[in-house]
Amino acid sequence: MDKVETKIGPVGVAGQVALAPMAGITDLAFRLIAKSFGAALVYIPLISAKALCLGSQRTLDLLASDPVERPLAVQIFGGDPETIARAVGMLNTYPVDIIDINMGCPVPKVAGHASGASLLRTPKLAADIVRAAARATGLPVTVKLRSGWDANSINALEVAQAVTEAGASAIAIHPRTKAQGFSGRADWSLIRLLKENLNVPVIGSGDVCSPEDAGRMLNETGCDLVMVARAARGNPWILSRTTQFLETGALPPEPTPHERVRILAQHCTLSANHDERGRAALRMRKHAAWYIKGLKNAAATRDKINHAGTIDEIVEICRGLEKEWHESCSLV
Ligand SMILES: Cc1cc2nc3c(=O)[nH]c(=O)nc-3n(C[C@H](O)[C@H](O)[C@H](O)COP(=O)(O)O)c2cc1C
């Protein structure tokens, strides 16, 4: 069956299940794992336009990518159109396909500086930022936003209309307010409102925890793509299970414990291969905890992994578990 294709500007995105940007989580290793499970679109998360312009090595490291990730979006944040334009100009030399501007991040480091979710309070500035970005690149510019600043100022449609008039080629929305953080439920009716009133693709985000949730979001809102964020942590196969479910109506089985630790070991190896700062073991601890959650002896295994100083030691622990589970499975 042919995959549904969505055009974001001239960029074709085949499939309807994207990996959402998650700062500190969706690094190159995780994105490669997500692509191996068929993610239609992945994002380099939350690059500071200012830090990019200042040439911060830490920021430049975050831009590392691999050709298999394409089409690849890079998400930037900033509150000043000129800085955004300069940063976008720099990104023209990187192998990326979509420039996304964050208008939803609630953390003080971002929203406290006229950027991220704070732009929801200044729709004109939000539009100026998109206009400046669009002038600085031939790539499509997209925006990811929340529903508004707080319950008294839900204005996602107004902001989305302002930024699409300014040149945005798609809108992703996580329909919670900045004040809500992650509490309550995402209000999917806002995804539908945007879809009904915009003539660019709309990507829905929020509370997609299973393939069935993704199907419901697509049906209830008419959005073009769904994004999976928290539910993909330690569970990247949700992307392929969801894709298959949407394409065939059949729900593929969950991987066995043995397969889960094999994928964790792969993730560790990718993380070590793309480790710019010698911190792969530290980064993989949190991922490992997500992968092994609910498995036999999870607490003891997590403890062992947390004491591992290198990726090789973590992979060794995974291999031990794989062997143990393989043997116990073959005894049954
Ligand atoms: C740890 C974490 C980091 C996130 N970082 C980003 C980010 O860098 N940029 C962004 O647009 N959204 C970010 N988000 C929001 C997600 O992309 C997504 O919109 C939100 O988690 C709702 O989806 P979910 O219910 O599938 O988790 C982050 C979410 C989490 C949990």
37-46 residue pLDDT tens: 999 999 999 9
Least confident of 36-50, 128-142, 276-290: 276-290
Describe the chain by its helix, strand, coil percentages, rounded to 5.
Answer: 50, 15, 35
Give per-residue pLDDT as tens, 140-196. 999 999 999 999 999 999 999 999 999 999 999 999 999 999 999 999 999 999 999
- pLDDT at position 277 is 65
Is 105 a known active-site residue?
Answer: yes
The pLDDT confidence band at residue 296, using thresholds 50, 70 and 90, is confident
Give 328 Cα–ligand 1 centroid separation in angstroms.
Answer: 38
Mutate to test the pocket of ligand 1, among 146, 147, 230 (most ligand atoms within 8 A of CB): 230
Q: Is 53's pLDDT higher than 90? A: yes
- pLDDT at position 130 is 98
What are the residue ranges of CATH 1.10.1200 in the chain? 257-331
| CATH (one of 1.10.20, 1.20.120, 1.20.1070, 1.10.1200) for 257-331 | 1.10.1200
Q: How many CB atoms lie within 10 A of CB 289?
A: 17
Q: Taking residues 105-130, what's their average pLDDT?
A: 94
Which residue pairs, CB below 8 angstroms and at least 24 apart, start in 60-67? 61/276, 61/277, 62/27, 63/91, 63/94, 64/28, 64/274, 64/276, 65/28, 65/31, 65/94, 65/95, 65/96, 66/28, 66/31, 66/32, 67/95
Specify the amino acid at residue 146. R
- pLDDT at position 329 is 52
Total-model pTM? 0.96
Question: Which residue has a Cα nearest atom 18 of ligand 1?
Answer: 229
- For residue 71, cis peptide bond before it (omega within 30 degrees of 0): yes
Q: Is 94's pLDDT higher than 70? A: yes
Q: Is 260's pLDDT higher than 70? A: yes
Q: Taking residues 3-15, what's their average pLDDT?
A: 97
- pLDDT at position 330 is 45
Give 261 Cα–ligand 1 centroid separation in angstroms.
Answer: 25
Give 22 Cα–ligand 1 centroid separation in angstroms.
Answer: 5
The pLDDT confidence band at residue 328, using thresholds 50, 70 and 90, is low
Instruction: Name which residue leads in pLDDT, 280 or 40.
Output: 40
Rounded Cα distance between 59 and 52, Å, is 6
The pLDDT confidence band at residue 331, using thresholds 50, 70 and 90, is very low
Q: Write out the two tokens for 259.
A: 């397969």
- Protein residues with CB under 6 Å of any ligand 1 atom: 20-23, 25, 45-46, 75, 102, 104-105, 144, 174, 205-208, 228-231
5-248 folds as: TIM Barrel (3.20.20)
Q: Taking residues 105-120, what's their average pLDDT?
A: 92
Q: Is 327's pLDDT higher than 70? A: no
What are the residue ranges of CATH 3.20.20.70 in the chain? 5-248
- pLDDT at position 324 is 78
